[in-house]
A = this chain, B = another copy of it.
């Protein structure tokens, strides 16, 4: 189905902000990509910065909702952490442009616009922190610096958006499972190789991102 003008503006912004950066993307670039005049653009957005902030909000809310749904009910920290890793990797592989905007352009927002975005990211990272901390407390994770390790794993998983190509040798399932395994190992997981509920992750990603995975 053809996209509405509003959707085309959004898609154009995600694509161009991801590839050329916020400051590298001009209003006229956006207009051309969205097949609109630069004046018409402003019928669908506030300022260019508003557009960026809105993209970040929806992207982060989507990731946060997905992560909460996937880990609802608590349970085994190992399983939860592997689920978070798989979900994060799938999201970054399925929507690399969107996630690259979120990961790389936060600093261009004014402090007032940045604050709620950072709050969303912090809420998301707390899900990781609690899974890791509970795993360490339970003795199933053995790692020296849990907070630093969390940051290391997050960066590792976010990096997927920088290089993954669906035309590569790895299918999404293998990719997600492999990263879950890398994370488990890095955390010194002592339990038997945990099984990741990939089917559930795929369903959530398919629902939230509107793609077939």
User: A residues near B, CB below 8 A?
Assistant: 19-24, 104, 107-108, 144-145, 148-149, 151-156, 158-160, 162-163, 170, 174-175, 178-179, 181-182, 185-186, 188
Contact = CB atoms under 8 A, between A and B. Distances in A.
Contact of A21 (B108, B155, B185): B108
B151 A159 contact: yes
B152 A179 contact: yes
A178 B144 contact: yes
Contact of A185 (B23, B108, B154, B188): B188
Contacts of A155: 155-156, 158-160, 162
A114 B104 CA distance: 20
Contacts of A104: 104
Contacts of A179: 152
A166 B156 CA distance: 21
A144 to B, nearest CB: 6
Contacts of A107: 19-21
24 contacts: A19-B107, A20-B107, A21-B21, A21-B24, A21-B108, A22-B23, A23-B24, A24-B108, A145-B170, A145-B174, A145-B178, A148-B178, A149-B178, A151-B159, A152-B182, A153-B156, A154-B159, A155-B158, A155-B159, A155-B160, A156-B156, A156-B159, A182-B186, A186-B186
Contacts of A170: 145, 148
Contacts of A162: 155
Contacts of A149: 178, 182
Given A155-B162, A156-B155, A158-B155, A144 B181 contact: yes
